[in-house]
Amino acid sequence: MKGIITAIDDLKQEALIKVERSSAPFAFGFERFEGARDDLFVGLEVEVVLSAKKEIAKVIPDKNAKKPENLKYLELTKSVEDCVVSYFNDIRELLSRYKSIDDSAPQIDFLRIRRFLFTAYNDLYDLDNSVYNPKLEHLRIELGKIQKEFELFRKKTGYPIKYSYDKVFLRQQGNYLKLEEKIEATQGFIRSATLKERPLADRLKEKEKKLLAIEDKKSQAYFDFEKEVKELRKRYVDLLHFISLQRDLLAELSALSKMFVERYFQEFVDLYQPLSMELERKLLWLLNTKAYELDSNLWDRAKQSKLIRQFFMDSGITGTYSSKTFLKYYLRSLDKDKLRNENKELFSLLAYLESISKKSIFVIRHRFEAAVRCKYLLENFDKELQVSIIKDPLDALKVNDSVRPDIILLDMELAGINPFELAQKYRQMFDAEGKSTLFCLFVNDLTSDLFTHAKKVGIKHFLRNQATDDEFIDSMRTIL
């Protein structure tokens, strides 16, 4: 059965076909068409094959059919994938420079902490400018640059999808732009011709009226004037014909433009949206990783400063040397009834920092009273610390992953096992799984032999048995 394509809808992925002996067109999906999408066009003659249920099974195009000249405008200058990928080249290049960073690197929420992190950097620098070093400054500048790239990225991906489609894809298509130029030129021709049509019609009407008014229809004057009217009438008819042709052309070009826009839109969406979301996720991951690196290095430097340590003591600041502690100190001076929005956000930030910085500590001491004292001092120092007293040292080897501590405090004298053996067994059992626990050893005198032996089994921190409560907490603040 013969038919002809009358309409194409790329969004619905279907076309209309008018077949012989039928007044109404039938719709069929592109999957029924025996050819490439570029071979399907309005006016194409086809052979229709029906199924046993009298439904369209196949639509076979006439292989000798000649495509309309204007279909050249539908040819791509640059593929959808090339357009989308090149649009994000700058971000992909930025991320490639950091591909060596491990996916499991520690992070902190940059979008929450960014303002306070840079404030803390400046405040600590004001307290003691020796905190500054080239590495720290490089991290600060680097994080600022990545933040700027992230903000630009969010701006360029924040437009409505149809605007992005036009900007990222359509504006890169030379044939489509030529088509738009031709549409604009055709519209201009129609406007110009239409402006001439009314005056010309009025002029022709007036001339025809004058021609009728000449009484001597056989006079030379009548023949001369009649010739003039005929020429004017021809000009008018030619003008109407030109306008009609241009309107037909405009309709054809506009249909092609609509077809071009619809044909590639879904392919663009399917590429653009997942890629933009994936790149945003990776950018946030990079920002969070670098923010943690800056925060960690900043407080590593700060806790080595005598001036900053003295400031913490003089100001009655309890807790670890960290952004969490510094923020808590800042917020205690604010009147909660007179908070601005940005200050309210800081309380939300504090809750976040407390949630991610909770540390658990096992205290394993020979004397139970000494363990109780350690627990009291630590919890009084930082209420977020989870301190547990382990009476039997071997119980430390029986913990499951959910309660594994961040720090273990050990005495030199333990019941049933020496601290070096305990640390070694613990590392063999647990540290290979990824979470490294810090071991801190209470000693009377740290000899070189003791230090070497401890280092071999992974004990790197030491606490003096003779230390005062303040000295103990100051040491723990640094370790934490």
pLDDT at 187: 96
Please report, for the domain that includes residue 161, its CATH number: 1.10.287
Q: Answer with the one of 71, 97, 127 that is the final residue of a domain.
A: 71
Compute how many other C-beta atoms are within 10 angstroms of the C-beta atom of residue 339: 14
Q: Are residues 306 and 449 in the same domain?
A: no
Q: Are residues 202 and 268 in the same domain?
A: yes
Q: Are residues 298 and 438 in the same domain?
A: no
Give 127-182 pLDDT, tens digit per residue.
999 998 999 999 999 999 999 999 999 999 999 999 999 999 999 999 999 999 99
Q: Which of 319, 327, 321 is nearest to 301 (CA)?
A: 321
pLDDT at 401: 66
- Assess if residue 321 is contained within a domain: no
Can you give 86-148 as a three-state secondary structure string?
HHCHHHHHHHHCCCCCCCCCCCCCHHHHHHHHHHHHHHHHHHCHHHCCHHHHHHHHHHHHHHH
| 188 vs 255: CA distance, rounded Å | 18
**Looking at the 3D structure of the chain, how many domains does it have?**
3
pLDDT at 337: 66
- Assess if residue 259 is contained within a domain: yes
Give 302-348 pLDDT, tens digit per residue.
989 999 999 998 998 888 889 999 998 988 877 666 667 767 788 88
Q: Are residues 87 and 192 in the same domain?
A: yes
Concatenating the DSSP letter of every residue in 176-189 gives: HHHHHHHHHHHHHH
pLDDT at 385: 86
Q: Are residues 160 and 300 in the same domain?
A: yes
pTM tops 0.85: no
| 319 vs 330: CA distance, rounded Å | 13
Letter string b/e over residues 205-235, b meaning 16 or more CB atoms within 10 A of that residue's CB: eebeeeeeeeeeeeeeeeeebeeeeeebeee
Segments of the chain scoring below 50 in pLDDT: 434
Q: Which of 127, 102, 155, 150 is nearest to 292 (CA)?
A: 102
Q: Which of 7, 24, 12, 19 is nearest to 56 (CA)?
A: 19
